[in-house]
Structure 1
Amino acid sequence: MSNSAATAVLTTAHLPDAIRAVRTLLGIADTSQAEVDFEALIRSPDVLTRVRHALPDLTWWAAADREHGSSEAGDDPADCLPIQVFDWSRPLDRAEPFIAALGPDPAAVRWDLDAWPAVPEAGLETISQKYAYLTLTVNSRDLYQDERTQDHTVHVHVRNQSADQIARVQWLADQVGGKFTGRVEWAPL
């Protein structure tokens, strides 16, 4: 198992701005076989209804623990609120409906990319699939939704904090009008 360095490149109170940044970064990345993963804490019946519309076969368990309800057991999530969502390997087109469904609930949406491409004019080589990720945290600034806020943060993942990797982060941040803040979280892959 290895880790990536998830670096915050844009934090905004306006979710449409964060989504625009994600779209820009997805336009740069190789996404030919990309997937998207979801993590969230869903607390309200209204949000649950909207999320289940976006992801009808949602993978979840009760926030208390799996013994108090789960999708695996066939339980009704509405009877188990709040629930934790850990849903993986979805098509890219599921991301924006999921994000729109969240309301005030915290979440992390991670795009598993095929690569960050080479940028010869910036001296950047290709970053392989193993370290090519993009995460949007909604109503939270951190990957694990521990720092809940009313804003949203775009994180790009790279291999480590070496000079060439930081150059990649700075270049990607420039593409979305953000900046490398120095805030890095280690993300297990």
Structure 2
Amino acid sequence: MSNSAAAAVLTTAELPEAIRAVRILLGIADIARGEVDFEAAIRSPDVLARVRHVLPDLEWRASTGAEHGSSGAGDDPAACLPIQVSDWGRPLDLAEPFIATLGPDPAAVRWDLDAWPAVPEAGLEAIPQKYAYLTLTVNSRDLYQDEPSQDHTVHVHVRDRNGDQFPRVHWLAGQVGGRFTGRVEIAPL
């Protein structure tokens, strides 16, 4: 099993600013076969209805455990709120509609990229798909919604190899007007 280092490069109270940064980073990345993954803690029926409109076959489980309700058991998610949502391998164009559904509920949207390309003028080699991800945490500072907040954080993932990939993190942060503060989470792949 491998890990990536998810480095926070921009934290903002303005969701449109975070989305702008994600768009810039997606413009840099190789996304030809990219996918997007979703995780969220849904607490309200209104948010649930909006999310199910975007992701009708949503996978979920009750926050108190699957034995209290899950999509696998065919339960009604509205009767099991709050729920944990996880949906994987979706088309890239579903990311922004999903983000727009969330209201105050915390979530993480992870783009699985084909690569972070080489940037010769910055001395950066290409990073292959196995270690190339981008995550936007909405209403949360961390990847797993354990640290709810009223702001949003953009994380870039690189290979966790004794910090030797952090020059790329600094470079990517500079591209979106952010800065790498040293806050890193290890993300199992």
- Asked whether the two chains share a fold, i.e. TM above 0.5, the reply is yes
Match of 1:131 in 2: 131
Q: Deviations over 1:86-126 (max 9, x none)?
A: 11100001110110000000000000100000000000000
1:124 and 1:164 in contact (8 A); partners too: no
Q: Deviations over 1:42-68 (max 9, x none)?
A: 000000000001111111011111111
Instruction: State yes or no: 1:39 paired with 2:46.
Output: no
> In structure 1, what residue type is equivalent to 2:21?
A
Deviation at 1:163, TM superposition (A): 5.4
The within-5 A match list for 1:1-189 is: 1-160=1-160, 162=162, 164-189=164-189
Q: CA RMSD in A?
A: 0.9
Bigger mean CA deviation after superposition, 88-97 or 156-165: 156-165
Q: Deviations over 1:8-47 (max 9, x none)?
A: 0000000000000000000100000011001100000000
Structure-1 separation of matches of 2:65 and 2:147: 21
> In structure 2, what residue type is equivalent to 1:39?
E
Structure-1 separation of matches of 2:46 and 2:10: 29
Bigger mean CA deviation after superposition, 157-166 or 61-70: 157-166
Per the normalisation by structure 1, the TM-score is 0.98
Aligned residues: 189
1:140 and 1:150 in contact (8 A); partners too: yes
Structure-1 separation of matches of 2:64 and 2:29: 37
Structure-2 separation of matches of 1:164 and 1:175: 19
Structure-1 separation of matches of 2:76 and 2:37: 22
Deviation at 1:164, TM superposition (A): 4.0
* Percent of aligned positions that are identical: 80
> In structure 1, what residue type is equivalent to 2:66?
R
Per the normalisation by structure 2, the TM-score is 0.98
Secondary structure of the equivalent of 1:149?
A: coil
Secondary structure of the equivalent of 2:9?
A: strand
